[in-house]
Amino acid sequence: MATIQTGLLVVELALEPWGAAQAGLLEQLPAEEQSRILRYRRDADRYRSLAAALLPRLLISHQRAQPLAQIHIERGPTGKPFYPADPQLHFNLSHSGQFVALALGTSPVGVDVEQVRPTRDWDAIAKRFFTVEEQQWLARFDNAERRHRFVALWSRKESLLKATGEGIAGGLSSFCAIAEDHAEIEIDHRGQRWFLRSYPALTGYGLALCSGAPGLPQPLQAQVRAAQFLDDINPAIATLVAMPRVAADAKAP
């Protein structure tokens, strides 16, 4: 199957109380996914998890004309999701605050969205998790700018570890991900090339994409309401499906 080389969709949720609209969406998912989502106690956590469960299934459903309840997604040892029926389809998910992000492509991908939280001790966290070079780079900026640079850096690093499937256990300090502005950068991590890019699209958030293939795109964005979730999101899904494709067995440059 031909698939999108690299795509990024960022969805802004109206974080409404859990109600009939969300319950109706939940019923369209496989039973095991419903059980996982209902384990969340807070409405916002449950709704973010629901949206993240829906996005890749909606994409696959558009491609295969398959009901959502029949699309079973599994998770690797570190929690990275994958679709066993099509191992050539790589995707990744992230959510924070009111945003949910979906990355996909023919090469492994990772995405991370992080809400900026002003109460955190950024310097102490940097000393614990970042390389010395990154700590020195962050120290160049004043407090407000350092906070935003920290979150952008963290999201780049986490997106790479999600792309590799290592997760945070892979070590945030095992590589340097400094990037000026929002340029795409290339990193060699454990003998493999990775391409990283941060995005300024979300005020108050860090957003980063990582892929094994270069040429990372601008994100598609959509705003959705629970009662009109499918109507609101389907145009963005259709745009993703219509993006330029490469053969599933083609190798990334």
* Per-residue confidence (pLDDT) for residue 253, from 0 to 100: 33
Rounded CA-CA distance 78/114 in Å is 19
pLDDT level of residue 3 (50, 70, 90 thresholds): very low
Which 8-state DSSP code applies to residue 243? Answer: S
* Per-residue confidence (pLDDT) for residue 78, from 0 to 100: 87
Q: What's the whole-number mean pLDDT along residues 212-227? A: 95
Asked if pLDDT for residue 2 goes beyond 50, the answer is: no
Quick: pLDDT tens for 77-126.
Answer: 888 999 999 988 999 999 999 999 999 998 999 999 999 887 678 888 99
Which 8-state DSSP code applies to residue 168? Answer: G
Rounded CA-CA distance 133/127 in Å is 11
Which two tokens mark 17?
Answer: 């109380």
Catalogue the long-range contacts made by 127-134 (C-beta closer than 8 Å, 24 or more residues apart).
129/154, 129/172, 129/173, 130/157, 130/172, 130/173, 131/173, 131/175, 131/176, 133/176, 133/178, 134/176, 134/177, 134/178
**228: three-class secondary structure by DSSP:** helix
Which two tokens mark 146?
Answer: 């350092």
- CA 238, 239, 242, 244 torsion: positive or negative? negative
CA–centroid distance for 190 within its chain: 22
Global pTM value: 0.92
Helices (H), the chain: 20-26, 31-38, 43-64, 122-129, 132-138, 143-164, 229-241
* Per-residue confidence (pLDDT) for residue 244, from 0 to 100: 65
Asked if pLDDT for residue 249 goes beyond 50, the answer is: no
User: Do the bridges between strand 109-115 and strand 99-105 make them parallel or antiparallel, or are there none, so unpaired?
Assistant: unpaired
* Per-residue confidence (pLDDT) for residue 116, from 0 to 100: 87
- How confident is the prediction for the chain on average, in pLDDT? 91
Rounded CA-CA distance 57/131 in Å is 37
The CA-based diameter of the chain, rounded to the nearest angstrom, is: 52
* Per-residue confidence (pLDDT) for residue 119, from 0 to 100: 65
